[in-house]
Every structure is written in structure tokens, then in C-alpha cells.
Amino acid sequence: MTRFALTIEYDGRPFMGWQRQAHGPSVQQTIEEAVTRITGEDALVYASGRTDAGVHARAMPAHVDVMRDIAPFRLMEALNAQLRPSPVAVIACRTVPEDWHARFSCLGRHYEYRIVNRRAPLTWDKGLAWQVARPLDADAMAAGAARLVGRHDFTTFRSVHCQADSPVRTLDRLEIERIGEVVTIRASARSFLHHQVRSMVGCLSLVGDGRWSPDDMSAALDARDRAALGLNAPPDGLFFVSADYPADSTPAD
């Protein structure tokens, strides 16, 4: 048996999310079925994160075990051939030790959320960014974001369906950058709660358009109550960007 680390890029719009679902297509199922067609083996693909319906990935690490003797490049080429025309691509593939795990070996996860701040409808970015028509103050958003960095109880910012044992997480980074009409929010942590990034972005947009102050962000955090959430941003602008692993065990070259 050989364990392959895959780096996967996908457009989340046609899918119900990463994880297999009984009620619709998923990225996981799409890749597993492609592996089975290539190898004739039942496949289980494990990823470093679980994205929701409509959420995208630029470089999602994953792994799969294969009994067939096949080179990483050949597996990658075969997978991409089988994945067409689904908007999923394997952009890197390599062998890793059998104790390397895409999820449990992961030391950190990085997300980006893109807001296009303009009144005109989106064309090229439709489904790939959240359009916010009201003017956003990126400096105010940065001040609000600073209130969330660190170790906190993020109950307010997690879905009522979140299955995590604890709402406590350490948010290592929550940064705001504005270039022209595009506002990018970058979030980093070892792990995130269900809907945490989207919930933080939704509230930051309220700070940006003046309906909330940074103090309101602190109050929402301190409430530890989902009812205190101001707004949950849509999935459109959210991208899984990358993940960190021990220096001697990276997911792909």
C-alpha cells in the first residue's frame, strides 16, 4: 500500500461541500469515485479541512491509500482526466509515510475571504466573492478583527450544528487588506469551528459599514451566544488557501 498526499483545487459552487452527503454531490465523493475508476479499489480520501457548500479551495491537502503500483505523476494525471469536467483538479501529488495524515498531522489552516465592495453587479467574480454595496472602512474592520485574535470562546461565531467538542479556539491571525474595491480577510488558526470564518466576516462587514463598532465585536464575542451574531457571510467569497505541516512532512512538493 502507498499513501499519496494530494493538493486539490476546486470551485465549490456545484458541491454540497467537501464531505460526502446523502443529499447531493461532494468534492470527497467526486475524488473517491475517480480513484476507484483508476485503481478498481474502494477509496477513502481524507482532507485537512471540511469546507461547506459553495466554499472553494486553492490548495486543499488530502491523502488516499492505493494498493496499485503507480507513480505520483501518473496518478495525478489519471485523476485529472477522470475528474473532468468537474471543477476539481489535483495540482500536486507525492508519496508520504503511512503515519502522515492530512487532517491529524496538520498544524495550521489558512483561509481567505474576498469581498467586492461596489454597487455594480458582479460578473467575473459572481459566486467567487461576496458583493457588498455599502462602503466599507477597512481600518475599522481591522480594529474589529483585532478584538477576536487570540484564545477565546467562539460560541457566538459557530454554527448551531457545529460538532466540535469545545467552542474554544486560538485565532492566530485575522487581517484585513483593501486593494481598490476588493477587501480580503485572511484568517489563520490550528483549527476552526463550523461557520467561524463566515460569521467573523459577516460581523466585520457590519463594523466596516458603520452599523457596528469594534466594541460591538467584543460584546458579541463576550456574549458566547449565537443569538448575538450580527451576520453570517455567504459562502461565495471563502477559500481554503493552505495548511501547515511539520517541516519534515509536507503535503506536496
- Mark whether 52 is an active-site residue: yes
Cis peptide leading into 85, omega within 30 of 0?
yes
All three cell numbers of 21, joined, read: 452527503
Beta bridge partners of 151: 170
Distance CA 122, CA 11 (A): 17
CB of 162 closer than 8 Å to CB of 86: no
Angle at 175 between CA 169 and CA 180, to 5 degrees: 150
**From 11, 42, 52, 244, active-site residue:** 52
Nearest CA-CA partner of 75 in 149, 174, 2, 165? 2
Catalytic residues, which ones? 52
